[in-house]
Amino acid sequence: MISGLNREVFSHLSYGLYIVTSIRDGRFNGQIVNTVLQVTSEPPRVAVIINKNNLTHEFISYSKVFGASVLDTSTPMTFIGLFGFKSGRNVDKLSQVKFMEGSTGTPLVTEHCLSVLEARVIDEVDVGTHTLFVGDVVSGEVMRTGEPLTYLYYHTNLKGKSPKNAPTYNPDKT
C-alpha cells in the first residue's frame, strides 16, 4: 500500500516539446507546450493543453484553430526563451522567427521544427488551471529529418526549467 504523493513520479512521464500557435483578428501568437498528443487515429485527432492565463489560450478559444510544430534538438535556449518564458502580450514572437500560414490562417513555425500540423477545435475540456483542446487535424507536413526535442533532453542537456504556467510545474522545487 502507498499513501501520499511523491511528486518525483511526474518526472518519469515522457513528453516532447512543441510550439503551439494560434491567430486572433490577424494577430499571431505561440508558446512552448510539452503536451501535444494524438488522441485518435481515425479520424486523426490531437489534443493540446494550455494554461488559461496564456495569450495563446485566448487566441485558440476565440478562433478555434491551432497549429503545432515539433521542435528538434537543434533548438537553442534563446528560441525556447522567446516562446516559453515571454508573453505575446509584450512581444510579437512570430515576427522574430520563420513561419508559414496554414490553411486555417494559423501560423506554423518552421524554424528548428521537424514537422507542422494544424487543427480545428472540436472540444474544450476544463481541467482546472488549464484547458485541454481537442482538434481534428486539417493538414500536416514533415519539414525535414532530425531528432525530436524531448522534455528529458531539455532538462538534462539544455538544463531547462519548467515555468509556473506549465502543467508539469513542481512547487516542491522552487
Cβ atoms of 28 and 108 within 8 Å: the answer is no
* Binding segment (CB under 8 A) for a second copy, from list 24-32, 36-44, 74-82, 83-91: 36-44
* Binding segment (CB under 8 A) for a second copy, from list 53-61, 79-87, 91-99, 124-132: 124-132
If binding is defined by CB under 8 A, does position 70 make contact with a second copy? yes
Other CB atoms within 10 A of residue 173 CB? 10
Q: Find the radius of gyration of the CA atoms of the chain.
A: 16
If binding is defined by CB under 8 A, does position 41 make contact with a second copy? yes
Residue 99 CB contacts under 8 Å (≥ 6 apart), including other chains: 21, 28, 107, 108, 109, 110, 111
For the CB of residue 110, give the shortest distance to a second copy in the complex, in Å.
10
If binding is defined by CB under 8 A, does position 128 make contact with a second copy? yes
Cβ atoms of 71 and 18 within 8 Å: the answer is yes
* Binding segment (CB under 8 A) for a second copy, from list 23-31, 32-40, 58-66, 84-92: 32-40
Nine cell digits for residue 92: 510579437
Cβ atoms of 107 and 94 within 8 Å: the answer is yes
* Residue with Cβ nearer a second copy (96 or 103): 103
Q: Could you tell me the CA-to-CA distances from 159 to 117, 120, 153, 154 in Å, in that order?
A: 28, 34, 8, 6
Q: How many residues does the chain have?
A: 174
For residues 78 to 117, the per-residue mask of contacts with a second copy, x marking binding by CB under 8 A and - elsewhere, is ----------------------xxxx----x-----xxxx
Among 20, 49, 60, 109, which residue sits at the site for a second copy (rule: CB under 8 A)? 49
Nine cell digits for residue 135: 482538434
* Binding segment (CB under 8 A) for a second copy, from list 57-65, 81-89, 91-99, 122-130: 122-130
Footprint on this chain of a second copy (rule: CB under 8 A): 1-10, 12-16, 35-45, 47, 49, 70, 100-103, 108, 114-118, 123, 125, 127-130, 132, 134, 137-142, 148, 150-152, 166-171
